[in-house]
């Protein structure tokens, strides 16, 4: 079983990467690099960075996750980061015999199943984004048995609030988006026919660090417990924050987003439970904690200025 002491973390400004770093055991040195410090699409630079730091594990937090933009005019960027860049990491990790940890998504499924998806279920992405993530996870898993892929879902958690070098602010997450919209709208239309599990990045990160000493690699599903449609998710956010905003449930067809989403994409945590690790907290309990954080208060304050 691996006992990591020096981990290189890419995409350090992302929600999940931020939580992975902040929840790392004291015994682990985490070298957290932003996209500006390590662009995984630049393979010579990937090789140079790995040779310089000599980590005993690489955790890839870099990802292209603009689902609708990938469908309209971002397919090349999605595959460049989610597949080709991942291949650069996988190849260079394999040369050095070190594990690569990568994150995929519930969007690799078509949503036709009526019960939580397990790792061995057939994949059939409905979108360019989902296809690019599936390509990435296949690359990682085929590159070596010591690699890990974690499929995650509907992430929310602390993120960096500053602009990046291109002047772009972070995309945020669903709870923040809803609360920001509620500042200017008395009612919000939200799809009511897409069901899955919102997942709190600090909770996932804690499980991640518990899992490494108990597994030699593989494919895992990792979420909080429970499931919910997006419209009810939004209502829960407003209820917990005492925000007066009406949520009107509409169909995905009526919403008409460029990219298709799976109507049902709840992921089963059974495989992780078999290792003796239980991520028992519900998404509701995690959400309630998140909405009380200073991070949420500060991010909402920054949008009103």
Q: Domain extents for the chain?
A: 6-304
- Tell me the average pLDDT across 91-111: 97
Residue-level pLDDT at 297: 79
For the segment 144-165, what is each residue's pLDDT rounded down to a tens digit? 999 999 999 999 998 765 444 3
For the segment 162-219, what is each residue's pLDDT rounded down to a tens digit? 444 333 444 579 999 999 999 999 999 999 999 999 999 999 999 999 999 999 899 9
- On the question of pLDDT at 71 being above 90, the answer is yes
pTM higher than 0.75 for the full model?
Answer: yes
- On the question of pLDDT at 140 being above 70, the answer is yes
In the chain, the percentage of residues whose pLDDT exceeds 90 is: 85
Beta bridge pairs of residue 104: 151
- On the question of pLDDT at 89 being above 70, the answer is yes
264 catalytically annotated: no
Considering only the C-alpha atoms of the chain, give the largest distance between any 2 of them, rounded to a whole number of Å: 56
Residue-level pLDDT at 159: 76
Beta bridge pairs of residue 197: none
- On the question of pLDDT at 54 being above 70, the answer is yes
For the segment 263-282, what is each residue's pLDDT rounded down to a tens digit? 999 999 999 999 999 877 99
E strands of the chain, at which residues?
6-10, 29-32, 57-60, 100-105, 148-152, 155-156, 187-191, 195-196, 199-200, 218-221, 228-229, 246-250
Which DSSP category does 126 fall into?
Answer: S
d(CA 41, CA 45): 9
Beta bridge pairs of residue 222: none
The least confident of 89-103, 122-136, 249-263, 265-279 is: 265-279
Residue-level pLDDT at 266: 98
Contact 226, 154 (CB under 8 A): no
- Tell me the average pLDDT across 224-235: 97
Domain 6-304 has CATH 3.40.50.720: yes
Which one of the listed residues 117, 129, 233, 264 is annotated catalytic?
Answer: 129
Contacts of 172 (CB under 8 A, 6+ apart): 159, 180, 299
């Amino acid at each position: 079983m691996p006992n990591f002491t020096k981990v290189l973390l890419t995409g350090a400004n992302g929600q999940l990467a931020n939580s992975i770093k902040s929840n790392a055991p004291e015994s682990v040195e985490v070298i957290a690099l932003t996209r500006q410090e390590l662009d995984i699409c630049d393979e010579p630079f990937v090789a140079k960075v790995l040779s310089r730091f000599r980590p005993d594990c690489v955790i890839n937090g870099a990802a292209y996750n603009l689902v609708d933009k990938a469908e309209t005019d971002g397919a090349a960027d999605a595959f460049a980061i989610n597949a080709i860049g991942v291949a650069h990491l996988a190849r260079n990790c394999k040369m050095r015999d070190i594990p690569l940890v990568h994150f995929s998504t519930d969007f690799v499924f078509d949503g036709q199943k009526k019960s939580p998806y397990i790792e061995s279920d057939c994949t059939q992405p409905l979108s360019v984004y989902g296809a690019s993530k599936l390509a990435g996870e296949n690359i990682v898993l085929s590159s070596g048995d010591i690699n890990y892929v974690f499929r995650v879902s509907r992430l929310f958690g602390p993120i960096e609030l500053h602009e990046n070098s291109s002047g772009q602010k972070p995309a945020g997450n669903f709870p923040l988006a809803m609360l920001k919209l509620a500042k200017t709208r008395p009612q919000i239309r939200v799809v009511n026919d897409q069901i899955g599990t919102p997942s709190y990045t600090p909770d996932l990160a804690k499980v991640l660090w518990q899992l490494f000493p108990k597994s030699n690699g593989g494919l895992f599903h990792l979420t909080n417990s429970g499931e919910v449609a997006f419209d009810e998710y939004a209502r829960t956010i407003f209820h917990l924050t005492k925000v007066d905003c009406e949520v009107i449930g509409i169909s995905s067809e009526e919403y008409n987003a460029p990219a298709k989403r799976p109507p049902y994409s709840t992921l089963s945590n059974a495989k992780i439970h078999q290792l003796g690790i239980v991520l028992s907290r519900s998404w509701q309990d995690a959400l309630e904690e998140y909405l009380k954080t200073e991070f949420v208060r500060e991010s909402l304050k920054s949008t009103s200025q």
